[in-house]
Amino acid sequence: MTFDRTPALSDDTAGADPSVTDTALGDSGASAARRLRSAPTVPAAVTAAESLFRALTGSDPAGVWSAPGRANLIGEHTDYNDGFVLPFAIQHRTAAAARLRADGRIRVASTFAAEPVEVALDDLETLFPAAGAAPGPAEPAGGASRRLETPGSAPQTPGAAGGALPGPVDEQPGTVPEWAAYPLGVAWALRALVPTWAAGTFAGVDIAIASDVPVGAGLSSSAAIEGATSTALNELWGLGLDPVVLAQAGRRAENEAVGAPTGIMDQMASMLGQADAAVFLDCRSLETRSVPLGFAEAGLEVLVIDTGVKHAHSTGGYGERRASCERGAAALGVPALRDVTPADLPRAAELLDEVDFRRVRHVVTEDQRVLETVAVLAADGPRAIGELLVASHASMRDDFEISIPELDTAVDVALAHGAVGARMTGGGFGGAAIALVDHDLVPAVSEAVRAAFAEAGFAAPHLFTVTPSSGPRRDV
């Protein structure tokens, strides 16, 4: 199958992203949704990143760059099987305020960590695995930091003329906390793209990161950090890399620096997102096509129901599912499950044990659902995709077994109260569901979900709408 290559960075302005903020839509209902939608369009994260930068360095950043999180409309756990996905970038963004420095050190600070982390650029190759290594195995539980063995490369005290931040402490010399592995991993992955002789030419850099992408909700807060960082460094270091290469660098950071064995969907969605459209991605060829969604014209909203149950793909179930898929492909003699069709499933059932067979069936049928969703959107519009979303959720619940009772409740209750379709989104084991809901029904569906969660004894969910939005940009 061939896709038209679409321009990667949309030239729409910040004003194209309605800033529906990460706020519960409560009793105030539709009018609250309308009020939120007319909020200022400079993401709060941009301002927060600038302030943090000033506190860190005492000077202004050279610029602020941002990249969005994403919701996946359909196509779950198909990306690392070379299959198809249909995510869209959302209006929640992560911002990176940055400026080159005169030495060869990189310092990263974030609003979600008390202390900045600083290392020599030349130590990044020691901090992270050798270039070209395969995606790392799942990180052992508790493995939330990376050891940096090189003497003298422990975090240094910053020249914090602005002084509001505590200096980085040296409690654990030679390690970086997991959050810092994302931006540092991106810097490492970008350096690895240029010849060794040129690596010495990279200037040091200070980066301050702030985000309004909910963490642990399955909305790719990590891809947003990677995208903001890579977009900033691409410009500051004058690399001239295209967004697909930047997405690949982000995935490499996630796989090898952080140790989460994920596919490339999130980074591609963040880097190639366009307003009012989804990114139809062939994860084998990395060809993309922008697919108009037309939710607003159809009077539909995407309601996110964040269960608050945190997940981490660097541990546990995600890697196990991936291993099942790899066993399935090997048993069937194909490079990846992308090459298995529904007609091959009876043979798969004979070759595989019952659990691996169900994992394979999910991926094979999910690929078909993605293709069908793209076709149905074009032919009949967004109201016609509901059944595909529901079938996708059932497959993840029953065959891939990555849903949780909170997500099943969110989906069932949303559907029972009039949602056109609903499914969990993202890697699973927690995080969020999305429901395609008539604009006027958003308050009633939200209320019903809240009530059902309370009755089931689940923690209160976090409810908000997301809008298909544009990819990375320079904000300041």
Q: Which of 50, 79, 178, 406 binds ligand GLA (CB under 6 A)?
A: 79
Q: Which of 69, 168, 427, 443 binds ligand GLA (CB under 6 A)?
A: 427
Residue nearest to ligand GLA (CB): 427
In the 8-state DSSP scheme, what is residue 122?
A: G
Helices (H), ranges, 150-259: 178-191, 196-199, 221-236, 243-252
* In the complex, least distance from residue 86 CB atom to ligand GLA, rounded to whole angstroms: 11
Neighbouring C-beta atoms of residue 287, cutoff 10 Å: 16
For residue 340, the SS3 value is coil
Closer residue to ligand GLA in complex, CB, 73/208: 73
Closer residue to ligand GLA in complex, CB, 174/263: 263
Phi and psi, residue 370, nearest 5°? -65, -50
CB 216 within 8 A of CB 151: no
**Among 110-118, 170-178, 233-241, 258-266, the segment contacting ligand GLA (CB under 6 A):** 258-266
* In the complex, least distance from residue 384 CB atom to ligand GLA, rounded to whole angstroms: 23
Q: Over the range 19-41, which residues count as b (16 or more CB within 10 Å of their CB) and which as e?
A: bbebeebeeebeebbeebeeeee
Q: Which of 426, 430, 461, 471 binds ligand GLA (CB under 6 A)?
A: 426
Q: Is the C-alpha dihedral spanning 188, 193, 195, 201 positive or negative?
A: negative
Does residue 266 belong to the site contacting ligand GLA (CB under 6 A)?
Answer: yes
In the 8-state DSSP scheme, what is residue 17?
A: S
CB 56 within 8 A of CB 107: yes
Q: Which of 81, 255, 262, 288 binds ligand GLA (CB under 6 A)?
A: 262
Closer residue to ligand GLA in complex, CB, 286/296: 286
**Among 54-62, 72-80, 92-100, 435-443, the segment contacting ligand GLA (CB under 6 A):** 72-80
* 472 closest CA partner among 22, 46, 178: 46
Does residue 216 belong to the site contacting ligand GLA (CB under 6 A)?
Answer: no
Does residue 471 belong to the site contacting ligand GLA (CB under 6 A)?
Answer: no
- The rounded distance, in Å, linking the Cα atoms of 325 and 255 is 17
Does residue 263 belong to the site contacting ligand GLA (CB under 6 A)?
Answer: yes
Does residue 308 belong to the site contacting ligand GLA (CB under 6 A)?
Answer: no
- The rounded distance, in Å, linking the Cα atoms of 460 and 438 is 23
Active site residues: 266
Say how many residues touch ligand GLA, by CB under 6 A: 11
List residues near ligand GLA by CB under 6 A.
Answer: 76-77, 79-80, 262-263, 265-266, 313, 426-427
